[in-house]
């Protein structure tokens, strides 16, 4: 029975690692590529998930717990690949506005969106952009620069870096998740490369998003500590804002996918 279970798990893992739907090769577009997995019963919605530093879209599709949870809910899962790093086989993102050179990754992610909508018959009004670590930071900077590019944004373990944006283009639904014990991207941020790089403070990012989203009060108006996540939400805003903390480190925590997709689907649920 254990062998059968292992075979089933391997088959499921192979399905989640699909390149471009049924095609094992990634979906190629100008400037790069992305991987995509389709559910058995697609409903037009999509989870676009941006990988972290020194990873890739292909590696992101091996996060089977996250991918399979989204596929089971009818979401097409899209994993774009960042720019090749100077050393090694991994990829990275030009997420900071002060970083010059290389690909315009904000434009690239919008090109991924457009290609995926046409290729897989997706609804552009039902696309959640999320990301892990610097993929989370990339998610936040896309939301800040072009808030209407995706329906909502859900960064994990990464948001704005110092120096912080002076302003954003407009409100954007934002759901940030972070580990209480994260040592790679601490809640307060940290200094790297002798001060050349400075990660941001998550609570400072929440202040920027409160201002951007037009939240009239500093304090949250909703709380939930009943499960694995401690959640704070600001609802009386031009766009909803939520922070979820969990007892863990630098990771995509178990249960994140369903929590984030429940939040996302609640944005358009009838009152």
Counting Cβ atoms within 10 Å, is residue 257 exposed (0-12), middle (13-18) or buried (19+)?
A: buried
pLDDT of residue 8: 32
Q: What is the DSSP pairing of strand 229-234 with strand 222-224?
A: antiparallel
Mean pLDDT per segment of 10 residues, for the chain of length 271 residues?
A: 33 54 93 97 97 95 96 98 86 82 91 98 97 98 98 98 96 98 97 92 98 96 96 96 98 98 86 52
Tokens of 21: 């739907």
E strand intervals along the chain: 27-29, 32-37, 46-50, 76-80, 83-84, 91-92, 127-132, 152-156, 161-162, 174-179, 191-192, 197-199, 222-224, 229-234, 241-246
- The DSSP output letter for 261 is H
Task: For 64-98, give one letter per residue: b (16+ CB within 10 A) or e.
Answer: bebbbbbbebbbbbbbbbbbeeeeeebbbbbbbee
CA–CA gap between residue 126 and residue 188 (Å, rounded): 32
Q: List, in order of start, the domains of the chain with CATH numbers.
A: 20-267 (3.40.50.1820)
State the virtual CA torsion across 155, 156, 157, 160 in degrees, nearest 10. Answer: 0
| Residue ranges in the chain assigned as alpha helix (H) | 2-16, 57-60, 64-72, 105-120, 134-145, 202-212, 256-267
- Give the three-state DSSP class for 177: strand
Residue 127 vs residues 51, 66, 98, 119, 124: alpha-carbon distances, Å = 17, 16, 27, 14, 6
pLDDT at residue 21 in the model: 87
CA angle (173, 174, 178) in 5-degree steps: 165
Structure-block tokens of residue 105? 């990754």
């Amino acid at each position: 029975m254990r062998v059968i279970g292992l075979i089933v798990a391997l088959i499921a893992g192979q399905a989640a690692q699909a390149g471009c739907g049924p095609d094992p090769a990634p979906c190629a577009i100008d400037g790069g590529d992305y991987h995509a997995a389709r559910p058995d019963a697609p409903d037009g919605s999509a989870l676009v998930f941006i990988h972290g530093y020194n990873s890739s879209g292909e590696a992101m599709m091996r996060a089977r717990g996250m991918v399979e949870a989204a596929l089971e809910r009818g979401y097409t899962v899209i994993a774009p690949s960042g720019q090749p790093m100077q050393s090694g086989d991994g990829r990275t993102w030009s997420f900071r506005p002060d970083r010059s050179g290389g690909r315009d990754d904000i434009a690239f992610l919008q090109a991924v969106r457009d290609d995926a909508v046409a290729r897989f018959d997706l609804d552009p009004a039902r696309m959640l952009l999320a990301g892990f670590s610097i993929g989370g930071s990339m998610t936040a900077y896309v939301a800040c620069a072009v808030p209407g590019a995706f329906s909502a944004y859900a960064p994990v373990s990464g948001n704005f870096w110092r120096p912080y944006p002076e302003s954003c283009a407009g409100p954007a639904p934002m759901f940030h998740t972070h580990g209480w014990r994260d040592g790679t991207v601490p809640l307060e941020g940290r200094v790297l490369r002798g001060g050349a790089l400075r990660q941001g403070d998550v609570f400072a990012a929440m202040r920027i998003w409160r201002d951007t989203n037009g939240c009239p009060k500093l304090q949250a108006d909703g709380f939930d500590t009943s499960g694995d996540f401690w959640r704070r939400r600001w609802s009386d805003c031009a766009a909803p804002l939520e922070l979820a903390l969990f007892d863990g480190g630098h990771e995509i925590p178990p249960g994140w996918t369903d929590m984030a997709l429940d939040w996302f689907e609640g944005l358009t649920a009838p009152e």
